[in-house]
């Protein structure tokens, strides 16, 4: 019996229809599922097991059954009130209350006719359900023959039975499994019973992808006006494809974007190009090209490449809709490889930049080769880092740098605490060729210890801890002003950085520190493992003056301290607060700090925060997600500068979401330049779950720009 071909092809075809648009999220509408009372049938049992209340044999050719009929194989089961088997034709005819179940598929029909010899048949007045996808529909008639299935007057939806807020209707659908193609005629999409889309003909794949249009993405912004993108997908081969996206921008003109993807077992690449032939605002041609690839050269070696080029510095500011790309200040182009072994790692890097904000041109790495090793034994850990870099930028500014840093440590780590003393040698040679060849040799060493203890005791509300920590760093202070400054920068000071060996990042500068750092932390853990509160105080004592090796560094003298405090308190099941502050002993005001109060309960969230940094930045912010009802929620984020007394960004989202469809609206207003007016943009997304999304990717934007700021 091959009834499963009908249902499997039906399942695959309906899901494949939307595979090139959206099929990641499934609905969760409550529904009843037919769960038959089966008996155990072994997987290798090829017999058809039939039982009924009444069974009759008419001569030697016709057999009939009636009442509680069940037909079962290892994978299939169906019930009916009446059934007839014709031996000479090897066919079955069933009628009245037919229930069929196979794995994820349930089918109900009034009539079922099967020709077991030719694998043909028909089912009338059918209702089907795809259980895992929670999708369902009806078909007036299903006719099948081998790999071809014909469905007449059929529907598809993921809404609850009897509450079809949206559904697809087709006059006929032909599924040709041998050619992996489905064809539908006179198809319409109905929402709330109203037809909103009609397609007289549509062809779709039964599995995989197929060439065709994807869902359009309309948008609106105060600078660009109406903005519409209509992607067209080209399924060129199983391992490569292309997407062409014509885009109409009301205030700028027409743009065409292309994306080509190629995939092999050990290699994949993506090539993209955007071209706006004539921007009516700037009166120029504008373009953006990008190429990425990843290759596995050997078992332990991976190579990655990234190239991008933009026509002008304002491209992302004018033509992008997300704040993180609007604020791009540079584009990195790089080619890198990594080779891993049990005790060493080899990295190579070629890197170039395109500057978008007018800042000084950074050095290109052509190339940078680094080798790191680690060996352990006899309670010792020995690490090395070796690196050669060839830096180049315009005006014949060429610098070659070689560094070597061996480190020996004796880590002692136990349940009750740890003690890690280490000594590191630092050697570097900078060969500068800008005006004349000059070698700058630098040698130094540093000694560092880090230690801590863990105490705990049981209290009435759970488990309380006390965690003292003590560290010491000594680095001889040496003159470094003649050494070129390439990639070193002043690291942001925080609690953990007060214990770090070097206060600079990069390899051109080494801070001459003589410092003792200590910290005291305490936590209260409840019986279920949650933190009731955590408080920590960290302080660094400087035993000698710090020499500034990078312009803009704050002055620290012998006897000065830097203190940091961190507080976290869970005020209840749904409310928590946090605060961080850092202060130099020589300053009256705090160096930086922030305070936040957060409410979280049942997917509802509200947070208000205040942030200050060196009197240069002073901001308040708020974000929240509020469930207005079971289906409606509102969300937003707001950032306000107290220093400039103006809103820097405001975002508001509204969502209607039920088990089978949703609508999302997003409005954003932002300002990247204090001298310009606020820019506003809008996005709308309609999602028919289990079918497609239409419009902008609002849910991802909201997740990245609201939830991503928590």
Per-residue pLDDT tens over the stretch 85-134? 888 888 888 888 888 777 677 888 888 888 877 778 888 898 888 777 67
Q: Which of 85-99, 261-275, 337-351, 565-579 has the lowest mean pLDDT?
A: 85-99
- Is residue 469 situated within a structural domain? no
pLDDT per residue as tens digits for the range 275-332: 999 999 999 999 999 999 999 999 999 999 999 999 998 898 888 755 446 567 889 9
**Which one of 209, 225, 244 terminates a domain?**
209
> Can you tell me the mean pLDDT for 228-245?
92
563-566 long-range CB contacts below 8 Å, 24 or more apart?
563/537, 563/538, 563/539, 564/493, 564/494, 564/495, 564/498, 564/537, 564/538, 564/539, 565/535, 565/536, 565/537, 565/538, 566/495, 566/534, 566/535, 566/536, 566/538
For 362, 446, 492, 569, 709, the CA distances from 478, given in Å and listed in that order, are 26, 12, 22, 44, 41
Closest CA to 78 of 121, 30, 27: 121
pLDDT per residue as tens digits for the range 583-609: 999 998 899 999 999 998 877 889 999
- Is residue 425 situated within a structural domain? no
The distance from CA 242 to its chain's CA centroid, rounded to whole angstroms, is 22
For 149, 324, 709, the CA distances from 327, given in Å and listed in that order, are 53, 6, 16
Closest CA to 575 of 551, 600, 612: 600
Taking the C-alpha atoms of 228, 234, 235 and 240 in order, what is their torsion angle to the nearest 10 degrees? -100
- Is residue 256 situated within a structural domain? no
Say how far apart CA 317 and CA 321 lie, in whole Å: 8
The answer to whether 685 touches 698, Cβ cutoff 8 Å, is yes
Q: Say which CATH number the domain at 36 has.
A: 2.60.450.10
- Is residue 637 situated within a structural domain? yes
DSSP-derived letter for residue 159 is S
- Is residue 574 situated within a structural domain? no
Q: What pLDDT sits at residue 25? A: 41
Is the pTM value of this prediction over 0.85? no
Name the one residue in this structure whose structure tokens are 């050494």.
483
**Which one of 209, 232, 266 terminates a domain?**
209
- Is residue 363 situated within a structural domain? no
Say how far apart CA 674 and CA 37 lie, in whole Å: 71
**Which one of 209, 238, 272 terminates a domain?**
209
* Domain housing 710: 587-710
The tally of domains found in the chain comes to 2
- Is residue 25 situated within a structural domain? yes
- Is residue 489 situated within a structural domain? no
Say how far apart CA 55 and CA 81 lie, in whole Å: 12
Residue 137's pLDDT band, with cuts at 50, 70 and 90, is: confident
């Amino acid at each position: 019996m091959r009834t499963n071909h009908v249902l499997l092809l039906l399942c695959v075809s309906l899901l494949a229809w939307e595979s090139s648009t959206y099929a990641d999220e499934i609905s969760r509408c409550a529904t009843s599922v037919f769960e038959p009372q089966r008996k155990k049938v072994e997987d290798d049992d090829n017999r058809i097991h039939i039982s009924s209340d009444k069974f009759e044999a008419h001569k030697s050719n016709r057999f009939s059954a009636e009442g509680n009929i069940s037909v079962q194989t290892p994978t299939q089961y169906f019930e009916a009130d009446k059934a007839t088997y014709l031996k000479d034709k090897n066919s079955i005819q069933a009628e009245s209350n037919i229930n069929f179940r196979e794995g994820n598929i349930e089918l109900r029909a009034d009539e079922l006719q099967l020709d077991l010899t030719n694998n043909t048949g028909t089912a009338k007045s059918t209702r089907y359900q795809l259980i895992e996808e929670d999708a369902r529909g009806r078909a007036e008639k299903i006719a099948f023959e081998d790999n071809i299935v014909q469905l007449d007057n059929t529907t598809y939806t993921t809404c609850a039975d009897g509450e079809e807020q949206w559904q697809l209707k087709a006059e006929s659908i032909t599924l040709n499994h041998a050619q992996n193609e489905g064809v539908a005629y006179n198809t319409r999409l109905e929402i709330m019973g109203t037809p909103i889309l009609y397609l007289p003909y549509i062809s779709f794949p039964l599995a995989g992808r197929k060439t065709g249009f994807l869902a359009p993405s309309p948008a609106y912004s105060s600078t660009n006006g109406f903005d519409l993108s209509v992607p067209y997908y080209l399924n060129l081969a199983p391992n490569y494809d292309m997407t062409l996206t014509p885009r109409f921008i009301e205030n700028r003109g027409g743009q065409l974007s292309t994306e080509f993807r190629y995939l092999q077992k050990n290699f994949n690449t993506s090539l993209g190009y955007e071209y706006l032939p004539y921007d009516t605002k700037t009166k120029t041609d504008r373009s953006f090209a990008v190429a990425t690839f990843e290759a596995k050269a050997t078992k332990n070696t991976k190579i990655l490449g990234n190239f991008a080029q933009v026509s002008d510095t304002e491209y992302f500011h004018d033509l992008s809709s997300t704040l993180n790309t609007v604020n791009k200040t540079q584009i990195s182009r790089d080619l890198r490889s990594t080779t891993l072994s049990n005790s060493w790692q080899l990295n190579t890097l070629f890197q170039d930049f395109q500057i978008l904000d007018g800042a000084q041109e950074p050095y290109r790495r052509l190339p940078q080769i680094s080798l790191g090793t680690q060996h352990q034994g006899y309670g010792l850990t020995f690490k090395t880092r070796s690196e050669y870099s060839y830096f180049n930028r315009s005006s014949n500014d060429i610098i070659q740098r070689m560094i070597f840093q061996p480190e020996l440590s004796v880590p002692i780590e136990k349940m009750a605490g740890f003690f890690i003393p280490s000594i590191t040698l630092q050697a570097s040679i900078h060969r500068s060729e800008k005006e004349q060849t000059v070698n700058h040799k630098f040698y130094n060493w540093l000694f560092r210890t880090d230690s801590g203890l863990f105490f705990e005791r049981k209290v009435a509300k759970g488990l309380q801890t006390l965690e003292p920590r003590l560290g010491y760093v000594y680095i001889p202070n040496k003159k470094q002003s003649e050494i070129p400054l390439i990639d070193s920068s002043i690291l942001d000071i925080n609690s953990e950085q007060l214990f770090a060996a070097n206060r600079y990042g990069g390899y051109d500068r080494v801070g001459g520190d003589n410092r003792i750092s200590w910290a005291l932390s305490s936590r209260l853990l409840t019986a279920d493992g949650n933190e009731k509160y955590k408080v920590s105080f960290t302080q660094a004592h400087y035993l000698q003056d710090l020499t500034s090796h990078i312009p803009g560094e704050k002055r620290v003298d012998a006897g000065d301290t830097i203190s940091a405090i961190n507080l976290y308190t869970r005020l209840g099941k749904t409310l928590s607060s946090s605060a961080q502050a850092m202060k130099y002993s020589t300053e009256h005001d705090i160096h930086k700090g922030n305070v936040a109060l957060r409410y979280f309960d049942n997917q509802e969230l509200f947070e208000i925060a205040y942030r200050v940094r060196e009197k240069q930045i002073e901001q308040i912010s708020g974000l929240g997600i509020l469930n207005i009802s079971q289906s409606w929620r509102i969300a937003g984020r707001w950032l306000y500068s107290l220093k400039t007394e103006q809103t820097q960004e405001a975002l508001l989202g509204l969502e209607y979401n039920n088990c089978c469809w949703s609508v999302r609206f997003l409005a954003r207003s932002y300002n990247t330049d204090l001298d310009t007016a606020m820019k506003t943009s809008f996005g709308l997304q309609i999602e028919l779950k289990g079918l497609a999304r239409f419009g902008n990717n609002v849910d991802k934007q909201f997740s990245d720009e609201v939830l991503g700021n928590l």
